Chain A
Amino acid sequence: MKESASYKVFRVANVAFLLVVVFLTLFPFVTIVAQSFSSQVAITAGKVSVFPVGFNITTYKAVAGDPMFWRNYGNTVLYTVVATAISMVLTTMYAYVLSKHHLKGRRLLIGVAVFTMFFNGGLIPNYVLVNSLGLTNTMWAVVLPNAISVFNLLVMKSFFEGMPVELEEAAAIDGLNQFQTFIRVILPLSKAVIATMILFYAVANWNSWFQAFLYLDRSDLFPVTIYLRNLIAGTTGVQDVGASVDNQAQIAANIKAVTMVLTVLPILGVYPFVQKYFGSGVMLGSVKG
């Protein structure tokens, strides 16, 4: 079909518009990356926009030269993997159960979950609880509390509700019990929503610092988020410093940019591979006709 003149105009305008959107979205991040590699003089003079000015990796060196940084980075990876695994097991199973309308007490189970969206014990009772369970200063204090996100649970529940009942009836006729049906039939068909949930949980766990901060008292147990948070506080604080003044100014100038790049890097690496599920995953289950 031949494109009409006005359609061509639309296409050009559309591409131009979307390019602007892409630029607006990317620019802040590109600037951050550029700043993380720029010299302090260029940064304070406001010369850095898209490309690094006065290439400098002092801050990267300072951060990466600290063994504690790598230790904490390792902790973050470990906590994220374990916490996401626990969350996924609990959430999928809970959601599957809730999706069965014939289940007795289903409303109560939903109520219990939703209740926690609006009310919780509060900071100190939570701390006292975790402490009296003997979880403080262990990984479990970070990965166990709040393992189920009610929001994710409800999304999954409605996804499972959208599955045809006939599938399970067929599975039952073929001799599968409830649990086998769930593992062999339902889960393989739910890859999209599972990938989405893994992404949700993993990103949240990767970025989280507050629980670790509350329940862990030893720096060798901290996730890297706390390490970087403290680093930023140190360079912006007024207290005396050990590093030479020159380095200190450099580090202070782009420590925030460096930490952003360092923390966002792994997520950035994983995202493209999960992203294809992402769009369909969130929408799935929301509308079924």
Chain B
Amino acid sequence: MNTHISRRSLFGGLTGVALAGALAGCSKGGSSDGTVGKNQQKGAMDNYAADTQFKATEPLTITMLYSDHPNYPYKSDWLLWSEITKRSNVTLKPTTVPMSDYAQKRSLLVSAGNAPEIIAKTYPGQESAYVASGAVLAVSDYVDQMPNFSKFRDQYKLQPELETLKQSDGKYYLLPGMHEKLWPDYTLIFRTDLLEANGIPEPQTWDDVYTALKKLNDKAPGTYAMSDRYKGQCLLNLVATAYGTTAGSWGNQEYTQYVKGDDTFVLAATSDEYKSMVEYLSKLVSEKLLDPQSFTQLDDPAVAAFTTGKTVAICGNSQDPSAHRALMDKAIGKGKYKIAKIIQPAGPAGKVVGGTRLENGLMLSAKAKDSDNFGALLQFVDWLWYEGKAKEFTKWGVEGVTFKREGDKRVLEPSVGYQWMNPDAPKKLNADFGFSGGNFSYGGTVDLVHSMFDPEEQSWQQRMATERTQVPLPPAHPLTDSQREQATLLLTPLKDLVDQNTLKFITGQRPLSDWDAFQSELKGAGADKYMQIINTAYTTYKSKNK
């Protein structure tokens, strides 16, 4: 028995967070009509506009909740902090929270009414928990006073994506990071040397993947050609997208699929697309091309199998090839193998790539709108997180100190290293200067986002951008609180049923001839009722926002 808050009261406490926040957060607040009062312009610039440098007319201090990453732990003497103050006359005062438990502390501080003005590092969807409490600001009311945000949104047509952030009151509460173009990351990493040796071209479709695995498997029968990591969720997500549906915990959290022809949502697992996806994956397993353990094992054995040459393909992201190579140089030998990310395979849904162009972003505390420097706060946030030069600054640092320009390219100064650039440099761009850290640097133009990729990743991104098109996002259908509560109650058992049976069908524990029986099990578990809630929310939202 220990003296401290037990785990049970911890979880009890956290589920109570939203409720307590609802009680505690009902503060009066100033105007909520999106105007900033005349007496709230302390430090604000009169002529602030897009692409201008923000500089507060008097020194200001702004508080910020900061997620502290152990690989570049917070230092108060970073060039980042002093340069922000130098450029903008604003001193940022961070409350540092270990990244490991950032979300918990954020809940606590927001609910206790102690949140700093800027609440950084919040992913789309995470803000929903705080909406009812009124403790975070409905930022959509104020974005017209954020010229850089608005410019980026309009220039790259991000409004449809922002729609998905809207809550049932038609407002959104998160200022997300925004990308000019979709930034796909995960795909299959293949042993390209084996593909070449056997005269197999780079797989372009999932059928090609099947053929490639089959050919390579025939060379060494008895083992699985592929044993995947991420509990199979990465693979499910990729295949589902190519088959025009969604699946798994990396896909759509609502487990729904939008059917354009009928203008309705259906449960993904009831669609024909879902069935064909399951059929495809079960074929891989039954022909011993894909290890059924891919869906249950930890990452380590899968990585070990791939890096020791036992398998020929694995899911991964842009950082994985170099990590794998470090292992394979030891296990297989330098020069005796080649690996590369292949382009995301296409499927019946076409040459598509799934995902959203929104990134993690920030919330503003509702208390901020009562402060006398609210106007300046909006300008500051708009500048530091959305203005082009400021974004370059938080990513690359200060020109002449951390980086320089060579033609239209940016390169790090020789004494500064980051990721693949100057790996042996004495100082690190993130750990020693504070730049390229997760609290400030995300999203932006293609030029900026791609500027730090290694050449290999750059060409992969280039191909993805030109050879694949983004799957349109499903239309917005925000749930009200009571709808969300009902939907969650119904979805929890449905999720289990879908997940378990999807795996059973894929791994062959349940024959595909049972598919119809599975469909009636879904009905029995309340699939129709659940979809009715989603579709009601959708039609309500449509009629309100005509």
Instruction: Point out residues on A near B: beta carbons under 8 Å.
Output: 40-41, 44-46, 66, 68, 87, 120, 122-128, 131, 146-149, 151-152, 200-201, 203-205, 207-208, 210-211, 213-214, 217-219, 222, 226-227, 229-235, 237-246, 248-249
Contacts and interface: CB of A to CB of B under 8 A. Distances in A.
B326 A245 contact: yes
A229 B70 CA distance: 9
A245 B322 contact: yes
B69 A123 contact: no
Given A124-B17, A128-B112, A230-B68, A210 B4 contact: yes
Given A127-B108, A146-B4, 5 more contacts: A41-B327, A45-B308, A123-B5, A205-B3, A233-B70
A234 B307 CA distance: 22
B438 interface: yes
A156 B69 CA distance: 43
Contacts of A235: 70
Interface stretch (B96-104, B122-130, B140-148): B96-104
A230 B418 contact: no
B99 A237 contact: yes
Nearest to B322: A245
A123 B10 contact: yes
B77 to A, nearest CB: 13
Interface string B284-304: 000000000000000011011
Contacts of B436: 240
Contacts of B480: none
26 contacts: A40-B327, A41-B327, A122-B20, A124-B13, A124-B16, A124-B24, A124-B111, A124-B112, A146-B5, A148-B3, A149-B2, A149-B3, A200-B2, A213-B104, A219-B68, A219-B73, A219-B98, A222-B98, A229-B98, A230-B98, A234-B69, A238-B319, A239-B71, A242-B71, A242-B429, A245-B326
A131 B1 CA distance: 26
A241 B72 CA distance: 8
A157 B341 CA distance: 66
B1 A219 contact: no
Nearest to B100: A233
B499 to A, nearest CB: 22
Contact of A210 (B5, B73, B114, B303): B5
B95 A230 contact: no
Given A128-B112, A219-B68, A230-B100, A122 B12 contact: yes
B14 interface: yes
Interface string B1-36: 111110001101110110011001000000000000
A232 B74 contact: no
A229 B101 contact: yes
B330 interface: yes
B42 interface: no
Interface string B409-426: 000000000110001000
Interface residues of B, number: 59
B2 A208 contact: yes
Interface string B330-344: 110000000000000
B162 interface: no
A266 B317 CA distance: 40
B411 to A, nearest CB: 18
B3 A87 contact: yes
Contacts of B114: 127, 131
Q: Which of A40, A87, A127 has the most CB of B within 10 A?
A: A127
A211 B323 CA distance: 36
Contacts of B98: 213, 219, 222, 226-227, 229-230, 233
B428 interface: yes
Contacts of A66: 73
Contacts of A222: 98
Contacts of B331: 41, 45
A220 to B, nearest CB: 10
A218 B97 CA distance: 8
A234 B70 contact: yes
B189 interface: no
A52 to B, nearest CB: 17
A267 B1 CA distance: 17
A233 B431 contact: no
A147 B3 contact: yes
B3 A233 contact: no
Contacts of A151: 1
B256 interface: no
Contacts of A40: 327
B529 interface: no
A149 B327 contact: no
Given A201-B3, A214-B108, A234 B99 contact: yes
Contacts of A207: 2
B10 A210 contact: yes
Given A123-B14, A124-B20, A217 B95 contact: yes
A240 B453 CA distance: 11
Contact of A233 (B99, B300, B419): B99
Nearest to A232: B100
Contacts of B74: 219
Given A44-B327, A234-B99, A240-B319, A122 B9 contact: yes
Contacts of B438: 239
